[in-house]
Chains A and B, each alone.
Chain A
Amino acid sequence: MTRYNRNTLIVGLAAAVVVGGVVSYFASPHPDGLEKTQEDLGADQPTHGGVEAPGVVFHEYTLRWFGEGFWGNAAAGVVGSLLVLGIVLVMGRVLRRGKAAASEPRP
């Protein structure tokens, strides 16, 4: 891995951890634009069968064992960022390798 790529990973992940783990703790607790609009319009009650994930480890953006508060939120921000990073890196590598193999020059 080149020095540039390593620095990109370090700086990018640090930004994600600071924003998702720390700054997000100070986020506005009010409903977001869609939730507020649904409330105002009287369209905030589910009217169809829906599926919500069980939320075994996290309850919304709070790690269950840490509870509401700074650390529960920080854990969600850090774990979520790492999960997305990991999934995207793996997908990127797999997709790239598939392509490289396909374009291998024939003997």
Chain B
Amino acid sequence: MHIGPGFLSPPVWLGAAGISGAALAGSLAVAGRRLDDRKVPLMGVMGAFVFAAQMVNFPVLPGTSGHLGGGFLLGVLLGAPLAVIVMASILVVQALVFQDGGVEALGANILVMGVIPAVIGEGVRLLWRRPVPVLTDAVTFAGGLASVVIGATGVILMLWMSGTLPGSVSLWQAVAAMDAVHLVIGVVEGAASVAVARYVLRVRRDAVFVEPVARHERATA
């Protein structure tokens, strides 16, 4: 879902970069408090895994493919600030090394695939502290699906604001076309998020929910 080069007008990509830049700055400011010896390796490998997973386009409708976003999953497992940092790193590597997404559109891509899904993931994260059998999975699935559809709608809104959509197409037609495809992609995103979250919680619950420990407490422990 990477917006390519030349599809956003300067006011739109500057505005999106401003929002993403502010979110990233805020995330960096609070990250230290949320990081410890267990969180850093988990954050690194989850970033590598999401990068790899994004390379796997799966067929959705005839002639159309989709790929995972991963920002929602990272929001669930790491919390929104760390998820934003990891997604920004992934999207920067994709744009600069692999020409996936326009360089000027980086802020917009971080917004729709990083910031928005990460915040939704953070909301669902609370439920994983004490998972309720069916409910936690169902809400996580729905959250993953919603994160994709909301991000996709954001992309169309930005294309519309940029004047990139042809005059013959109304905003609503464009949103309907985009969301229809991304509803299917979102189902896969939701299911994958549930599966990976369950696995990671099972093997590294201690790293997912690190209770903040003050330094003097750690020293005496």
- DSSP class of B's interface residues: helix, strand, loop or mixed? helix
Report B50 CB to chain A, min CB distance, Å: 8
Question: Which of A41, A60, A91 is B165 in contact with, Cβ under 8 Å?
Answer: A41
Render A4-23 as a binary contact track against B, CB cut-off 8 A, 1 for contact: 11001101110111011101
Residues from chain A with a CB closer than 8 A to the CB of B132 are none
Residue of A nearest to B181 (CB): A33
Interface residue? B202 (CB, 8 A): no
The distance in angstroms between the C-alpha atoms of A79 and B97, with both chains bound, is 10
Residue of A nearest to B162 (CB): A48
Query: Are A104 and B4 closer than 8 Å at their CB atoms?
Result: no
Query: Are B85 and A80 closer than 8 Å at their CB atoms?
Result: no
Residues from chain A with a CB closer than 8 A to the CB of B32 are 95-96, 98-100, 102
The distance in angstroms between the C-alpha atoms of A87 and B64, with both chains bound, is 32
Query: Are A27 and B48 closer than 8 Å at their CB atoms?
Result: no
Interface size classification for chain A: 35 or more
Query: Are A37 and B174 closer than 8 Å at their CB atoms?
Result: yes
Interface centre among A8, A40, A50, A92 (most CB of B within 10 A): A92
Query: Are B57 and A30 closer than 8 Å at their CB atoms?
Result: yes
The distance in angstroms between the C-alpha atoms of A5 and B210, with both chains bound, is 14
Measured CB to CB, the residues of B under 8 A from A are: 1-10, 28, 31-33, 35-53, 55-61, 63-67, 85-86, 89-90, 93-100, 102-105, 152, 155-156, 159, 162-166, 168-169, 173-174, 177-178, 181-182, 185, 203-204, 206-207, 214-216
Add 17 more A-B contacts to A4-B204, A5-B37, A31-B63 (CB < 8 A).
A2-B37, A8-B41, A19-B53, A20-B55, A24-B55, A32-B67, A33-B181, A34-B3, A53-B95, A79-B97, A80-B94, A81-B48, A85-B45, A89-B44, A98-B32, A100-B32, A102-B32
Pick the 7 closest A-B CB pairs, nearest first.
A99-B32, A46-B6, A12-B45, A20-B52, A50-B5, A50-B6, A92-B40
